[in-house]
Amino acid sequence: MSQSAKLIPDLYRTCLLLSLFILLCIHSVSSDEIYNKRENAKRGTFITNLASSLGRICKKASNVQIKSGRDIVELRESWDLVTREELDHEWEDCEEDSGDDMGCMVDILLICKSPFASKRLWLNILDENDNPPKFSKKRVHLSMPENTPRNSEWALDIANDPDSSENGVTGYSLSCENCDQDSKGTFQLIDDERRSTDGVILPKLVLKTELDHEEKDNYIFKISAFDADGNFFHHFLNFG
């Protein structure tokens, strides 16, 4: 066998060994994992232990750098990954809403520099109903002419509830603050007919009987928005 023919397998073997060496040096223990935790979970809440994954390669937890959109976790010497603050689903930079389970996903990347290794996981902060609905204005004014036809409708202001859909606004109620027995049925609030494309309830006020300016020229309504747990907020509507 010529000298050059012998060199080719040697070169091939060297490349193979070098590739294996690089693979052994660059560990990636990442298989994206999702950990669900309820919002308002206290600081120090256990997420997972990384001793058998990252800890196997990177000998000291202090060698691990954590990269995340939010400084939300810390890694202890025991390789316990824990929260470093109380969790909040309504964090405004929440990366995405994870849909059905009403979570807020936080991307967490853990990097060991020497030997190089990395692990990526997601913390899914599950929503709790910890906010009441709120109106942006305390008082709203609407006007109407006396000859307004019956069944005329007025769109009402929408309350905002930062919780996810099921914990958000689920309905509205109306009470007249200056009506007597005869006039309290003049208007009706309807909140179960219309929704926006993203499911937000669009309440409206409907005129049920004809108006008589000489009998009553002003209505004061208290309109309340509430969520599934009965948290509510109200504002006033002056109509006249």
Position 170 contacts Ca ion (CB under 5 A): no
Asked if residues 113 and 25 have their Cβ atoms less than 8 Å apart, the reply is: no
Stretch that binds Ca ion, among 101-109, 115-123, 130-138, 152-160 (CB under 5 A): 130-138
Q: At closest approach, how far in Å is the CB of 71 from Ca ion?
A: 18
Position 131 contacts Ca ion (CB under 5 A): yes
DSSP state of 84: S
Label the pairing between strands 80-83 and 232-239: unpaired
How many Å apart are CA 204 and CA 64, to the nearest integer? Answer: 56
Q: At closest approach, how far in Å is the CB of 175 from Ca ion?
A: 21
Q: How far is CA 110 from the centre of its chain?
A: 24
Backbone φ and ψ of 47, nearest 5°? -105, -55
Position 227 contacts Ca ion (CB under 5 A): yes
CA atoms within 13 A on the CB side of 234: 13
Residue choice 75, 117, 127, 135 for contact with Ca ion (CB under 5 A) = 127
Q: What is the dihedral of CA 14, 15, 17, 20, to 10 degrees?
A: 170
Asked if residues 119 and 185 have their Cβ atoms less than 8 Å apart, the reply is: no
- In the shown chain, the binding pattern of residues 184 to 223 toward Ca ion, with x for contact by CB under 5 A and - for none, equals ----------------------------------------
Residue choice 74, 85, 130, 157 for contact with Ca ion (CB under 5 A) = 130
How many Å apart are CA 190 and CA 204, to the nearest integer? Answer: 5
Position 224 contacts Ca ion (CB under 5 A): no
Residue choice 161, 172, 189, 219 for contact with Ca ion (CB under 5 A) = 161
Number of residues that bind Ca ion (CB under 5 A): 12
Position 129 contacts Ca ion (CB under 5 A): yes
Residues within the interface to Ca ion (CB under 5 A):
88-90, 127-131, 161, 163, 167, 227
